[in-house]
Structures are given as structure tokens and as C-alpha cells.
Chains A and B, each alone.
Chain A
Amino acid sequence: MIDEIFLSQLKQSVDLFLPETILVATFIIALIFDLIYKNSRYLIAVISIIGLVFSGIFLVNQSTSSAAIFSGMLSFDPFGNFFKILILLTTIIIVLMSVFSKELYEGGRKTGEYYILIVGMTFGMFLLAVANNLIIVYLAIETMSISSYILAGYTKEIKRASEASLKYVIFGAVSSGMMIYGISLIYGLTGSLTFDAINSAMISSDISGLTLLIAGLMIIAGIGYKISAVPFHFWTPDVYEGAPITITAYLSVASKAAGFAVLIRFLKVSFFDSTNYANDEIWTLIGTIDWQIVIAILSVLTMTLGNLVALWQTNMKRLLAYSSIAHAGYILMGVVVMTDIGVTSVLIYFFVYMIMNLGAFLVVMIIANKTGNEDIQKYNGIGHKAPFVSACMVIFLISLTGLPPTAGFIGKWAVFTAVLKSEYIWLAVVGVLNSVVSLYYYVKIFRNMYIRNFEDDSEIYEFSPGTYILLIILAVPTLIFGIYFTPLLDWAESSVKIFLGV
């Protein structure tokens, strides 16, 4: 069975798999160093950063390659590469953020495993972004989830953290149970687990609609849990509130990115009539099930519920949790469109969302380091105590609302463009109304910062230069991409092609 062809293919696969291999190597090296140097504070963080950067270099190099590797289990394509770079950037920023986190290092806590698990989680998300087989999807989701369960409860002496972790595990187990049930149904229907083989099986034979709907919904539920789409979002607020801020930020960006990558790939490769791929504009779904409507309903529910509930939140982490649910809804609008323009808009939105959301969480972390918690009341008068940090926060929040001249506007604009192009006008109207609603709670934050207790003679907070640099790293692109977004659009546009199997 093992022949020359297989070996040469394997060699090619291993070559392409280099970024992931580096991650695993980093994981192991970090583990060993953690055993040797037990009490070093930042060593493992440094090792992780080095590994991540190396991985990134190879990742950027293969941004144009497009191939199915490991017997069609993984599809390496520009689309997956985009998400991998996004996840990697997020990871690097999160690791840098964690170094400045007070909550994480409190009481001399050992943080070696923390960074190790982040690297492991990155590995899982990388695989999810390129997975082309439901078994791999499942394994990747588990790799990512198990790391994140532990990370969410990393500050385990704090009650709400361990509670968050437990809730996360239970909901996660239920959703992955549902997902694997759906996977088994799909296997029963099509006799295959690879996306393109599912597609060809569906084209060639008659598939029962109801079973396919149930199976598809179960798989979407599993993914929906990862992207916290309503009604699979129940865990989000509690986990986001309980987990360390850095992990909350990480979950809200990276694990969502991985979830969206696999959702789009699964829908586009499995459920579209692949005989029609030549034509960009006309995508037809196979079978009788209108997946577009399913996703549209998810999208409307997600953004509306996220925004409405966010209005009442008084804890910043919880507020941003609901806001991130709402943003998942906006991104789902792009998924609804399902054409290339829809996917492009998702990519643009995601990149923008990454920058601004990480920025907002960074500010929350910086302020929590000073005030000790994330209560929105604590933000009163921060505008004068920490002028630069507050100004950056305003930029991030304006961007999250989607007002020009910030990057968030470009994201919203791209998504609405995609939705209007496919003439889903009602969806666009719901979307813009939602962004008006969202303004209210974002404004609430900088209202507290600037309007409440605005005293000229209050104390001034001092921050370390590192946090300022991180803030600048995030705030400047938020503005730059709002004014000059050609590179972003170019990159998203060139990354839209999904490798459609052999």
C-alpha cells in the first residue's frame, strides 16, 4: 500500500505543513524549557513569540500556494492562509498582552503552561482553517477547545474563572457531541467525510432533504458554538467574564476566526453545485435546502440579540462579549451572501475586527490592571487620568461602531456592499439598524470616561512603555485602514479563492 507516489505526496505535504510543524516544535521546546527553568517569568513567552514569528515567516511565504495535502485531509489555499495569518497575528498580540497582564501574574502564578497552551491552541486553529475533512474538523475543534477550556480557567483560584471553565467544558462537550452526531449522519448519507467527496456524492445521488438538514444544522451548531452565534451563544458571556482578559480577547477573535473559516469552507465546498464554479456570480446550492436562509436567520438573531443584551451590561468584559456576539452576526451577513464578494467582505471585516477588538480588550486590561476590576463605573473620569489610553479606546469604540474614518467603517461598508449586491435589502436594513443600537453601549463607555467625573485635578495613571507601544500598534492601523484601505482590500481579494479539491 505504501508506494512511491504516496511518499512523494507525503513529502510535499510535510513541506507545506512547515508552519504547523514549527508550532508543534515550539510547543514541545517550550514545555521542556518550562521544566528546566521553573521560575522564569517571561522565558516561555519569549520562546513562544520566537516560534510564532518563525511560523509566520513560512506562512507568508506560502500565501499563494494551493494544494490538497495529506490525502486531501487539508486544503492549503490562500483563503486558509489568510485566516492562519490572522490567527497568528492575534496570537502574537495576545502573548504580548499577557506579558503585561497583572491578573495573570498575580500572586507569583506560574505562567509557563499558559503560553504553551496558547501555542497548542494556535495549532488547533491553524488546522481548523485548512481542514477539508470532517474528522479533521472535529479533531482540530477539540484541540482548540481543550486548550481554551484550560486557559479560560487558568486563574483557577478565582471562583468565576473556574466556573467559566466548567461552563465552557459542559457546553463545549454538548456542542461537539451534536457535531459528531451530525458528522456521522453525513457519513451515513454520502459515505464520505471529505468536503469535496461529500459534494460529489450529493451531486451524483439523491440525498434525503430532512436528514441532510438535520445533519447540516448539527454541524453548524457545533461551529456556531465556536463563533458564538445565537442560539449557541449561552456560554459566551459567562466564559468571557470569568476568563482572564487576555483569553477573553483571544477567544473573541482567534477562535471565532477559525470557526468562520471552517464554516465558510464547509458550506462553500460541500453544499454548492461544483459544476457551476466557473461562474462567480451564480452559485447554486445542491439539494432542496436553502442554506442561505438558515444562515440569514442565524445572522439576524445573532446581531440583534447581541446588541440588545449588550445595552444592559455593566461589566466591560460582558459588554464586549455581547458586542462580539453582535459582530459575529455582522460577519454572518457576509457569509449569507456566499459569493466571492461575500467571502471578501468577511475577510475584510475579520481583519478589521481583529485589530479593533483586541484594542478594546487591551484597554480594558490596562485599566483593570489599575483599578482591579472591569466594572463600567470604574471608567468614570478615566479620560483625564489616562488621556492617551482613553483616546485610543475612543478610536477602538468608534471603529467597533463602524464610523469613518476608522477601519471598522470599512468592514461594515464591505459587508453591507456584499449584502446589497446580492439584494438582501431587508438584511442590510436590519444590519444598519443594529449598528445604530450598538452605538449606544459603545458611547456609554466613553461617556463614563470623559463626561462623568471629568475633573482637571484628579490623579494621573502611569503605564509602562510596553503597553503604550502595544496600544499604538493597534490604534494606528485602526485609523490607517480607515483612510487608506487599498492594501487590506487587495489582500482580502487575493485570499478569496478556496481550493476546491482535486
Chain B
Amino acid sequence: MSLIDIAFYFFAILIIASAYIVVTSKNIMYSAFALLFTFFGVAGIYVLLNADFLAITQIVIYIGGILVLIIFGVMLTNRITGVDIKTGTMSKFQIWMTAILCVIAAIGLILIFTQTNWNTALSPTKASTIEDIGTLLLTDYLIGFEIASVLLLIAIIGAALIARRKTN
């Protein structure tokens, strides 16, 4: 087992374990902090894949931006911290069905990943992908880039609309 493999499994376990806490924790604060580790683990995987730009973005945007916002939000609205955010209860039947489905899905995915003849690329030789990404975003993927900007504008309007206090 090479060092890279060990690093991969470390990050993978980190992601799954912290994601589990995010979902199961009763305290929203704990969930938010667990999410930090999930994002961090994902960034680690990106590094292992030589996706340096993505890794940096992941840390800067998701951890530095989104997560901090979430934590601020939670802390500033003191009413949420104490609230039990789990709603309803599931019957035994539902839990079992879900478990069975998950197992089937997992087996299916494992089969897929091991059996498929993937279209693999050679391991990258470049030191950095930033330049390529930049070029592509402004040439081939120009339209995608533009759509994303409109999409974000719409999302901002929507957010403002939802947050707006009832007037009149």
C-alpha cells in the first residue's frame, strides 16, 4: 500500500464519518462543524487527483465562505441551536427498506466501478491545471460560464426574496 493509497483511505473515512455526524447529530452546531471535516476531506481527495485548483477552491469557497456563513448564521440565530432538528420518526419497516435499498445500491455501485472498462486518461504531467481551466472557461465552456453567472444572479434574487420581510 503506497502512501497515496493510505492518504486516500484516510480522506475517504474522514468524509464518510464526518458526513454521518452531519446527518445524525441532534445539535445543528455539531453538524456544521462536522461539515467542515467533510469539505476538508473532499479537498484532500482533489489534491490526490492532481486537481490543485479544485482543491483550493473547495477550501476557499466551501470552508472559507459557505461554512463560515452557516456557522455565523447558526450562532446569530440563537433560537436554532437548541432545536432538535430531526423531524418525525421512521417505522421499523421504513428503516429496513431503506437499509436494503442502500445495500443494493452499494453493491451495484461497487460492481459498476470494478467491472466497467473506464475511459481513463494518462496521469497528468502538468504541474498546475489553473491555466487550462481558465482557458477552457473562456473558450469552449464560455457559454457554461455565462449561464452560471445568470444562474447565480437568479439565486441571489431568490434568496433576497425569501429573506425579505413581509411588507405592506
Contacts and interface: CB of A to CB of B under 8 A. Distances in A.
Interface string B130-147: 000001001111111001
B162 interface: yes
B150 A123 contact: yes
Contact of B116 (A70, A136, A146, A189): A189
A74 to B, nearest CB: 7
A421 interface: no
Nearest to B131: A1
Contacts of B158: 117, 146-147, 149-150
Interface in B38-59: none
B143 A214 contact: no
B168 A108 contact: yes
Contacts of A153: 162
Contacts of B162: 150, 153, 156
B139 A139 contact: no
A231 interface: no
A22 interface: no
Interface in B108-130: 108, 111-112, 115-119, 121
A211 interface: yes
Contact of B150 (A1, A24, A74, A205): A24
The listed residue with most A CB atoms (<10 A of its CB), out of B115, B119, B135, B143, is B143
A11 interface: no
The listed residue with most A CB atoms (<10 A of its CB), out of B118, B142, B158, B168, is B158
B1 interface: no
B87 interface: no
Given A108-B168, A139-B151, A146-B158, A208 B143 contact: no
A142 interface: yes
B119 A191 contact: yes
How extensive is the interface on chain B, given as a class? 20 to 34
A214 B151 CA distance: 28
B148 interface: yes
B66 to A, nearest CB: 15
A375 interface: no
Contacts of B2: none
Given A120-B150, A139-B148, A208-B115, A146 B141 contact: no
Q: Main SS of the interface on chain B?
A: helix
A240 B138 CA distance: 39
A185 B109 CA distance: 11
A2 interface: yes
B142 A70 contact: yes
B161 A208 contact: no
A159 B116 CA distance: 48
A80 B155 CA distance: 26
A456 interface: no
The listed residue with most B CB atoms (<10 A of its CB), out of A74, A116, A142, A211, is A211
A156 B158 CA distance: 12
Contacts of B115: 208, 210-211
Contacts of A1: 135, 139
A210 B168 contact: no
Interface of B: 108, 111-112, 115-119, 121, 135, 138-144, 147-148, 150-151, 153-155, 157-158, 161-162, 166-168
Given A117-B158, A211-B116, 8 more contacts: A24-B150, A113-B157, A120-B150, A136-B143, A139-B147, A140-B147, A147-B158, A207-B117
Interface of A: 1-2, 6, 10, 13, 24, 27, 31, 70-71, 73-74, 107-110, 113, 116-117, 120, 123-124, 127, 133, 135-136, 139-140, 142-143, 146-147, 149-150, 153-154, 156-157, 185, 188-191, 201, 205-208, 210-211, 214
26 contacts: A1-B135, A27-B150, A27-B153, A71-B140, A73-B141, A108-B168, A109-B168, A110-B168, A116-B157, A117-B154, A120-B154, A135-B144, A136-B147, A142-B151, A143-B151, A146-B155, A147-B158, A149-B158, A188-B116, A190-B119, A208-B115, A208-B116, A210-B111, A210-B115, A210-B116, A214-B108
